[in-house]
Amino acid sequence: MFLRLTLPWLLLALVACHSWWATDRRTDLAGTDLIHLTSFDPTLRIALQYKEAHNFTGNPLYHRSFPALLHRNTAKRLKTANRLLGKKNLRLVIWDAYRPHETQLALWDACGHDDRYVANPMRQPSLHSHGCAVDVSLEHLDGTPAAMPTKFDEFSPLAASDHHHPNPAVRENMKQLKEAMWAAGFGTLPHEWWHFMDKDYRKLPFIATETLPSELQTMIRSPLP
């Protein structure tokens, strides 16, 4: 009687564990300089904007399973910044991290080859493609969004990192963001308040798609699921 009652529940538990493992499985990055931000710092919120169609291109550019990746040295700096922000009741929201060169080419075409807002990949790879640049926003620790200057990929003077926003809450949040990122070893980009790059970016090489695990290469070359 005991076995008849518990066996179905045991089977359900096994199925649940298998499903959890399947969805939580991480691509093996051994042999690369990249790490998974989700597992490296679970307190970050990952919200990759190019997985959705609401970016400026109007189309998703990442496979829905594409992970948030960053060079291991840069990820350590990001974790430091996030820890500092936690003391202010804030956390980092990751809008973009490692960006494949193929995605950068798509953005370059979509922006009309305007290198004020999209790095020209014909001249040199984006620092995102080195895994040492990250696009971020903020939210409060209770999950509510923090007031920030603009939406992602706002191509206007309002997105400048030194723009004096009329809302004091926005100014305070930007102050906290920049101070934490600067203290952790990041620099800013004048035209994009959300973009930060590792101060040691010159030491961190371009990461080509061909050097990545085959699973990631497939996602990059076939971005739509």
Question: Can you give the CATH number for the domain in which 182 is found?
Answer: 3.30.1380.10
Torsion-angle region of 197 (φ positive above 0: left; ψ -120 to 50: alpha; else: beta): beta
- Domain range for 162: 27-221
Number of domains the chain is built from: 1
Task: Provide the angle, in degrees to the nearest 10, between the axes of the packed helices 214-221 and 101-110.
Answer: 10
Q: Render each residue's pLDDT in the chain as its tens digit; 225 residues.
A: 433 444 444 444 444 444 333 334 578 898 899 999 999 999 999 999 999 999 999 999 999 999 999 999 999 999 999 999 999 999 999 999 999 999 999 999 999 998 888 989 989 999 999 999 999 999 999 999 999 999 999 999 999 999 999 999 999 999 999 999 999 999 999 999 999 999 999 999 999 999 999 999 999 998 887
Alpha carbon distance 5, 7 (integer Å)? 6
C-alpha 102/C-alpha 100 separation (Å) is 5
The whole model's pTM is what?
A: 0.87
Q: Is 203 left (phi over 0), alpha (psi -120 to 50) or beta?
A: alpha
Is residue 168, in this structure, part of any structural domain at all?
Answer: yes
